Amino acid sequence: MHPPPLRLALLLGACLAVSTALADEAAGIIKLSDGEVSLERGGSTLAATPGTQVHAADVLVTGEHGRVGVTFRDNSLLSLGPNSRLVIDSFRFDTTTHEGGFESTLKQGRLAVVSGKIAKHAPDAMKVRTPASILGVRGTEFVVEAGARP
């Protein structure tokens, strides 16, 4: 049996390892990418190709002829049309309880959504912001468009 301080240190180390793994876990994955599509993460711009992981705080950007489709861990499906910019503000999902939250901001462009388990479990847990409004997801499918700010 380990002395109490050593047991506490081992327990804290295990908790830190689990929380770090969860923080690094992808929110979703790009399934479709066509035309000019990029992903901004931590000040860098990455190619947004099928198989690329999407994390909270990432920004998806499409060009004039670009489009991208993302499947999130809760089975939410997001599709961005041309000239779009979407910020993944936050994403949390417990695969056991289906509890979590999903918030994004459509700065410009067109976004189509088929909501997943987060919205089905708690309708107020998924939100999409635009420059003019905040949408609380109550249904399962919707399209929203936001114009570019002058």
Is residue 109 within 8 Å of residue 80, measured between CB atoms?
A: yes
CATH classification number, 26-146, choose in 3.40.50, 1.10.10, 1.10.3470, 2.60.120: 2.60.120
Got the DSSP string for 69-93? EEEETTS-EEEE-TT-EEEEEEEEE
Residue-wise pLDDT tens digits, 68-102: 999 999 999 999 999 999 999 999 999 999 999 99
d(CA 25, CA 144): 28
- Across-strand partners of 33? 68
* DSSP H helices in the chain: 4-24, 117-121
Query: Which H or E run contains 102?
Result: strand 100-114
Residue 68: strand pairing partners: 33, 80
User: What's the confidence (pLDDT) of residue 138?
Assistant: 63
Model pTM score? 0.80
Judge whether 60 and 88 are in contact, CB under 8 Å: yes
State the residue for tokens 């109550």: 138
Q: Please write the tens of the pLDDT for every residue from 115-136.
A: 999 998 887 899 999 998 777 7
What sign does the dihedral 26-28-32-36 (CA atoms) show? negative
Q: Which residues pair with 52 in a beta bridge?
A: none
Mean of pLDDT over the chain: 85
